[in-house]
Amino acid sequence: MTPTTSPAAASVALSPFEQTRSRIEARTARVGIVGMGYVGLPLALLFSDERFPVTGFDIDRKKVETLNAGGSYIVRIPGTEIQAAQRNGFCATADYSAIREMDAVLICVPTPLNEYHEPDLSYIRLTAEAIAPHLRAGQLVLLESTTYPGTTEEVLIPLLEGGAPAGLRAVHTSTENGLYVAFSPEREDPGNDTVARRDIPKVIGSYGPAAGELAALLYGSIFNRTVPVSSPAAAEMTKLLENIYRCVNIALVNELKQLCHRMKIDLFEVIDAAKTKPFGFQAFYPGPGLGGHCIPIDPFYLSWKAKQFDFHTRFIELAGEVNEAMPAYVIQQTIEALNRVRKPVNGSRILVLGLSYKRDIDDLRESPSLPIIEMLRQRGAQVSYNDPYFPTVGRGRHYDLNMTCTPMTDLAGYDCVLIATDHSDYDYARIVEEAQLVVDTRNATKGIVSEKIVLC
């Protein structure tokens, strides 16, 4: 009789690389996602939809408790989606020792700027140090956080290797036992319902072909297309290019908005006319400044890194400066609008509509509404706000407001209503009808004719 090999023996014979690959193929690979925010939580749900057992890691115990109770703290993700994921094995924890049970570890933590406009990698560093002692051979470690080219190889890998069990190293080939490391930039666009998440191609830059194979296999299970590039640095630069492209073009229209204001030309009319051209033009729109985690930050990440190569990114830095100056421009236009009706900003009652950085989302990150409120206060204005997504706003990394949402029941009682975010819930016709003065930074009142409106 020919001896047969039991499934258990065959599994033991597999190398760590082969074990991870086979588990991914069978959808039994345990996926750990560090950072249950605007990037990590949607990613966890995608994996859960494909029946992967997913564990979410976060140092915020309130988030962990909310998720394990079947709730959500992100408006666009209903609790029913969390509960469906739980039925597929999803859970959350603040205990990083559970990392050793994962086959793939995805890092989705913030990468802000510090007060000097330099990259702040503290979240990546702290995460790497927290997970390193619990790593084992055969695990796939993926960084998704937006950062400068070189971070994966120059920062993440040395931290992982420095804190990992003795002898555990990042390796290039499938015949080596170690960690398989790659970078794959997140491409979240909060509030965009026109493109399904799985239809967004996933760029992957791996530290060696073995990591690339595993990462493509893992991401290919939840995204319809993967896009491999030659290195982690190439993938890191890809993310920066995508967002700097938008930053530069938004800076262009923000600058043109200021010029068109002086020339008494409606820039929004100009953009609408220009975008009828079927080639060579893509419409970008001005606003009160940039918000979100990426576009306001990425230009400074690249300009900081460029200095290490004795290169000054003048064009990119200028775009960042133009966009950063927009809240001050809004303040100046508000002051002038009040002056025209013989009211000083000092002592005026001003209602700011919208706190989030873009329409119909609950995200305050880098929102221009926050410095606008602070600057109005500094000039003596009595400022209130209304935003359906924020009943209160307290203190953050770069702001300290401590305010409560004001109902829109007495619009006429304000000297000025300033539209900072054009949420769909607002009835702009009613706002214009009842308010004394409307400063519109988003063209939200388009089509409404009134001398009360000041486009800014």
Q: How far apart are CA 19 and CA 22, in angstroms?
A: 5
pLDDT band at 377 (very low <50, low <70, confident <90, very high): very high
Beta bridge partners of 395: 400
Map the chain to HEC letters: CCCCCCHHHHHHHCCHHHHHHHHHHCCCCCEEEECCCCCHHHHHHHHHHCCCCEEEECCCHHHHHHHHCCCCCCCCCCHHHHHHHHHCCCEEECCHHHHHHCCEEEECCCCCECCCCCECCHHHHHHHHHHHHHCCCCCEEEECCCCCCCHHHHHHHHHHHHHCCCCCCECCCCCCCCEEEEECCCCCCCCCCCCCHHHCCEEEEECCHHHHHHHHHHHHCCCCCEEEECCHHHHHHHHHHHHHHHHHHHHHHHHHHHHHHHHCCCHHHHHHHHCCCCCCCCCCCCCCCCCCCCCCCHHHHHHHHHHCCCCCCHHHHHHHHHHHCHHHHHHHHHHHHHHHCCCCCCCCEEEEECCCCCCCCCCCCCCCHHHHHHHHHHCCCEEEEECCCCCEEEECCCCEEEEECCCCCCHHHCCEEEECCCCCCCCHHHHHHHCCCEEECCCCCCCCCCCCEEEC
pLDDT at 4 > cutoff 70: no
Q: Are 283 and 271 in contact (CB under 8 A)?
A: yes
pLDDT band at 7 (very low <50, low <70, confident <90, very high): very low
pLDDT at 6 > cutoff 70: no
Q: What is the pLDDT of residue 193?
A: 81
Which domains, ranges and CATH numbers included, belong to the chain? 8-230 (3.40.50.720), 232-324 (3.40.50.720), 325-456 (3.40.50.720)
Mean pLDDT of all residues in 287-301: 85
Q: How far apart are CA 419 and CA 53, in angstroms?
A: 44
Q: What is the pLDDT of residue 2?
A: 45
pLDDT at 10 > cutoff 50: no
Mean pLDDT of all residues in 134-161: 97
Q: What is the pLDDT of residue 451?
A: 95
Q: Are 108 and 144 in contact (CB under 8 A)?
A: yes
* Lookup result for tokens 């975010």: 421
Residue of 297, 428, 291, 313 whose CA lies nearest to 362? 291
pLDDT, mean over the chain: 94
Pick from 14-28, 40-54, 181-195, 257-271: least confident: 181-195
Q: What is the pLDDT of residue 102?
A: 98
Choose between 10 and 332: higher pLDDT. 332
Q: What is the pLDDT of residue 370?
A: 95
Q: What is the pLDDT of residue 157?
A: 98
Q: What is the pLDDT of residue 8?
A: 47
C-alpha pair distances (Å), 355 with each of 76, 188, 322, 382: 16, 20, 21, 16
Residue of 390, 383, 332, 386 whose CA lies nearest to 365? 390
pLDDT at 339 > cutoff 50: yes
Choose between 379 and 5: higher pLDDT. 379
For residue 261, give both structure tokens: 């204001």
Buried residues in 259-278 as b, exposed as e (16+ CB within 10 A):
ebbeeeeebbeebeeeeeee
The torsion defined by the Cα of 158, 164, 124 and 140, in degrees rounded to 10, comes to 90
At 75-110, the pLDDT tens digits run 999 999 999 999 999 999 999 999 999 999 999 999
Q: Are 195 and 141 in contact (CB under 8 A)?
A: no
Number of Cβ atoms within 10 Å of the Cβ of 376:
23
pLDDT band at 12 (very low <50, low <70, confident <90, very high): low
Q: Are 365 and 431 in contact (CB under 8 A)?
A: no
Q: What is the pLDDT of residue 1?
A: 43
pLDDT band at 194 (very low <50, low <70, confident <90, very high): confident
Tell me the catalytic residues: 294
Pick from 34-43, 146-155, 296-305, 432-441: least confident: 296-305
C-alpha pair distances (Å), 258 with each of 96, 266, 329, 331: 50, 11, 8, 13
